[in-house]
């Protein structure tokens, strides 16, 4: 699904730079990165460990702030936003899927998926209905009451995907979402993520080491030492 010509990109970064201190050493997370990602795009981010993949996702996801450069989300320049406005933008327009799932262990699958809606003040009946529908969409309609310790790794990641998409975000950011899964389960999870992303028209940005996934990526960004060294599109996605 492509964005209309007049629609601003979901993410627009210019000269984005982030550095960290490790003792006396300066670590380059990102260096002068320019990037645009349109509404509805599926983008995979490749690169060796330490190349800047997680740093990029943390900046796009408003989990961290750049040292310099500009970043806009859906045409809103983040430099113009207060901390409260940034928090609301992150909560309402972005979804996150992580390698370690990050589910709340004492909550059921349904309650975990409800959680972002509850924080946003959605009425209990509506959020229950939306969470149940989302879990059914990821194949877990029969596991609503199960806590994470009673679910397999693949099922836990399905819950995490349902939670990331339940509030209908503009973009979902996934950092090594299949890193804790076997190859067969990983393929199933990525296929599901793509299916839901296309159905909702959500922008998807995935950081991964998986060569098989990267080979079929509609668009593949390659980072090295904090710099964008390649931006390639799959022939079938062109």
164-173 per-position pLDDT tens digit: 999 999 999 9
Question: What pLDDT does 1 receive?
Answer: 44
Does residue 155 fall inside a structural domain?
Answer: yes
Q: Are 31 and 55 in contact (CB under 8 A)?
A: no
Does residue 23 fall inside a structural domain?
Answer: no
Q: Are 186 and 178 in contact (CB under 8 A)?
A: yes
Residue numbers in the chain where pLDDT is lower than 50: 1-4, 238
Does residue 14 fall inside a structural domain?
Answer: no
Residue 228's domain comprises 40-56+87-237
Question: What pLDDT does 238 receive?
Answer: 42
Does residue 77 fall inside a structural domain?
Answer: no
Does residue 222 fall inside a structural domain?
Answer: yes
DSSP H/E element including 169 = none
Q: Are 174 and 207 in contact (CB under 8 A)?
A: yes
Share of the chain above pLDDT 70, in %: 96
Residue whose tokens read 């960004």? 221
Question: What pLDDT does 229 receive?
Answer: 95
Question: What pLDDT does 2 receive?
Answer: 46
Question: What pLDDT does 235 receive?
Answer: 65
Question: What pLDDT does 236 receive?
Answer: 62
Does residue 3 fall inside a structural domain?
Answer: no
Does residue 163 fall inside a structural domain?
Answer: yes
Q: Are 161 and 103 in contact (CB under 8 A)?
A: no
Query: Cα(173)–Cα(98) distance, rounded to whole angstroms?
Result: 8
- The pTM of this model reads 0.90
Does residue 47 fall inside a structural domain?
Answer: yes
- Residue 157 sits in a domain of what CATH number? 3.40.50.300
Say how many domains are in the chain: 1
Q: Which of 2, 11, 151 is nearest to 70 (CA)?
A: 11
**Rg over CA atoms, the chain:** 18
């Amino acid at each position: 699904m492509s964005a209309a010509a007049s629609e601003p990109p979901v993410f627009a970064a210019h000269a984005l730079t982030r550095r960290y201190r490790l003792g006396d050493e300066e670590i380059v997370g990102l260096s002068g990165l320019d990037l645009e990602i349109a509404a509805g795009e599926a983008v995979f981010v490749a690169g060796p460990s330490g190349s800047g993949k997680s740093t990029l996702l943390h900046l796009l996801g408003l989990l961290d702030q750049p040292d310099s450069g500009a970043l806009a989300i859906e045409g809103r320049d983040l430099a113009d936003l207060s901390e409260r406005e940034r928090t609301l933008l992150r909560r309402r327009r972005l979804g996150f899927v992580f390698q370690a799932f990050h589910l709340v262990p004492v909550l059921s699958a349904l309650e975990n998926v409800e959680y972002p809606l509850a924080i946003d003040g959605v009425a209990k009946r509506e959020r229950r209905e939306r969470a149940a529908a989302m879990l059914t969409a990821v194949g877990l309609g029969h596991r609503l009451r199960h806590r994470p310790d009673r679910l397999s790794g693949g099922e836990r990641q399905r819950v995490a995907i349902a939670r990331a998409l339940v509030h209908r975000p503009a973009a979902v950011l996934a950092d090594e979402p299949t890193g804790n899964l076997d190859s067969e389960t990983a393929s199933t999870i990525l296929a599901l993520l793509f299916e839901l992303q296309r159905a909702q028209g959500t922008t998807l940005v995935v950081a991964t080491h998986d060569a098989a996934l990267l080979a079929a990526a509609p668009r593949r960004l390659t980072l090295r030492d904090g710099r964008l060294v390649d931006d390639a599109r799959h022939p079938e996605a062109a």
